[in-house]
A and B are shown apart, each in its own frame.
Chain A
Amino acid sequence: MSRALWVGLGALVAVLFAASLLIGPAGLAPVQALSALVWGDALAETLVMREIRLPRAILAMLVGAALGLAGAAMQGYLRNPLAEPGLIGVSGSAALGAVLALQTGLAAAHVLALPFAALGGAVIAVLVILALAGPRGGSITLILAGIAVSALAGALTSLVLNLSPNPFAASEIVFWMMGSLQDRSMTHVWLSAPFIALGAVVLLAQGRKFDALTLGEDTAASMGVHLGRLRLALVMGVASMVGAATAVAGAIGFVGLVVPHLLRPLVGARPSALLPASALGGAVLVLMADIAVRVILPTRDLKLGVLTAIVGAPLFLHLIYKTRRQGQL
């Protein structure tokens, strides 16, 4: 079972990555496109492939993996399938951090200011959520805290953008709340990839500790899990991944909810196996969504979050219903 799952997910990522490279409004022939990408033999085609489509495909993969993995890690720590970076306001707060860095000019003054500001926003949100939801992450407090954090972050983001002297800034509220990968460049890849990779290493290393937490905090602690260190790793890992992903792609919701939920039965519900599986699954989902926005409305910048929410929100409702029926809400 397990091997087939990994091979399947890996193959899906590869196929969708290739599809993402080959689908676009310029309508390049596949052979010509790949040749331009690899050999750089035609100016226009090479620019399109190397500077527009390649960064977009790489970012879809990175951002998806970041959101999927961060969702699985939050759920593993809080032992609650409703914990998702977008829903509980982590992505929104990261967006606020990014917007502040951009509008204050910090991002222009220093390259790393943008990802670090987004990371800072995410850290604050994760800490607030953990403080409010408590160690067990009760569903009601988690959702309520998430609503409050999201609403505040969204409002402040809107405020900052409305105060901007730039006439386009206000219209970008939608981008920061829904996310998009249109016209991103390699600069964004270099900006986000190190943070996402670092977060992935940190979170994947915690797999067994999340497994141990299946039995509760006390048991996990008695089995040698240092809860304080795990908490620190979770906060930094999630913030680093979600912060970097949001800084370049805006807040894309529901990826961290849908992917772990679908994959959990396939990995026997073990949190340690769910982490890498959700990273791959997240990459699959965001690559698919990003291809879909280009196919559905090729001339307009349809936001990724629109698609992920259409898929994710009904599932979220279903999960709430299920949780309530089990008497946990």
Chain B
Amino acid sequence: MMLAAPGQLISISRISHDPNVSVMLEQALEYPINHGQGEEVFRLAPDLVLAGAFTSPYTVGLLRRLGVEVAQLPIVNTLDAIPENLREVGRLLGREAAAEAVIAQFEADLAALRVLRDHVPRAALHYANNYTSGENSLAHEILTAAGFTNIAAEAGLSGGGTLAMERLIMLMPDLVISGQSYPGASRSEEVLRHPAMEALRTRHASHALADAEWVCGTPAVLRAIARLAALHEGG
């Protein structure tokens, strides 16, 4: 959406309309959505389909056999990979210049946010099901860029994984960044409000929420970094 010329984008994933994970919700609401099913996408007769690495391989194969060009974008695990991805989408859409402009802006903003700090507080990412992110993950890079260390990395975790609540508490983070709650109830999210975590937050650590801006490798991560970095000043 950031890169496409008006009229170039004809349909977007239904996820873009989910306020919990969409970083460009307002713009997204102007486009029709699809549900990632081969039939409905084919009926739109697109010249190009941008798919994620997690898009069903059967759907991708079907579209390709039907003669639709499908480009699969890799998952972004580092901040440095974001410009490359932007450049790739720009090339596919024939919007190289627009892409370069966005990239330049992104790199400048990122550099401005990376400030050397004397005190590096320890932060814990705590999502539903005790899921967290260690080294080699975008969330880890966001934390580091904002001037925090990640306790999951201390615990030796690489990539995404679970860290038992017991171990998280024993590591005594200074900041707990919790995943947001989706509507409807789930047992997975109960851990976010577990009395032990509540006690940790009220008695020791400060608290922040992770949201859509943390999820995908787009320039929106800058906003997450900026809000996180602001916590240094706040407390």
Contact = CB atoms under 8 A, between A and B. Distances in A.
B196 A51 contact: yes
Nearest to B162: A299
A44 B151 CA distance: 15
B185 A24 contact: no
A103 B184 contact: yes
Contacts of B195: 51, 185-187
Interface string B165-208: 11101101000000000111111111100111001100110000
B198 to A, nearest CB: 9
A70 to B, nearest CB: 23
A47 B200 contact: yes
A94 to B, nearest CB: 15
Contact of A185 (B129, B172, B186, B194): B194
Given A43-B172, A44-B170, A183-B165, A172 B182 contact: no
Contacts of A298: 164
Contacts of B185: 102-103, 105, 107-108, 164, 166, 169
Contact of A168 (B169, B188, B204): B188
B189 to A, nearest CB: 6
A211 interface: no
A171 interface: yes
B54 to A, nearest CB: 14
Contact of B169 (A44, A102, A105, A301): A44
Given A25-B167, A44-B172, A185-B194, A51 B199 contact: yes
A299 B164 contact: yes
A45 B183 CA distance: 33
A296 interface: no
Contacts of A102: 185
Nearest to A188: B190
Interface string A300-322: 11000000000000000000000
Given A51-B196, A52-B165, A183-B165, A172 B187 contact: yes
A175 interface: yes
Contacts of A48: 166, 169-170, 196
Given A47-B169, A51-B194, A168-B129, A26 B184 contact: no
Interface residues of A, number: 34
Contact of A26 (B164, B182, B187, B200): B164
A248 B162 CA distance: 22
B166 A24 contact: yes
B128 interface: yes
Nearest to A102: B185
Given A25-B166, A48-B170, A298-B164, A169 B184 contact: yes
A327 interface: no
A175 B199 CA distance: 26
Contact of A183 (B161, B172, B183, B190): B190
B149 interface: no
Contacts of A228: none
A167 interface: yes
B150 interface: no
Interface string B207-229: 00000000000000000000000
Contacts of A224: none
Given A43-B172, A44-B170, A166 B165 contact: no
B172 A167 contact: no
B133 interface: no
A165 interface: yes
Contacts of B189: 166, 168
B52 to A, nearest CB: 16
B16 interface: no
A105 B189 CA distance: 15
A47 B182 contact: no
A44 B169 CA distance: 6
A96 to B, nearest CB: 14
Nearest to B161: A299
B204 to A, nearest CB: 6
Contacts of A183: 130, 165, 190-191, 194
B186 A166 contact: yes
Interface of B: 128-130, 161-162, 164-167, 169-170, 172, 182-191, 194-196, 199-200, 203-204
Closest 5 CB pairs of A and B: A166-B184, A51-B196, A168-B188, A26-B166, A168-B186
15 contacts: A26-B164, A26-B166, A28-B170, A44-B170, A47-B169, A52-B166, A52-B169, A53-B166, A102-B185, A165-B184, A166-B183, A166-B184, A172-B186, A299-B162, A300-B162
Given A51-B199, A52-B169, A165-B182, 13 more contacts: A26-B166, A43-B172, A43-B204, A44-B170, A44-B172, A52-B196, A103-B185, A164-B186, A167-B182, A169-B185, A185-B194, A300-B162, A301-B129
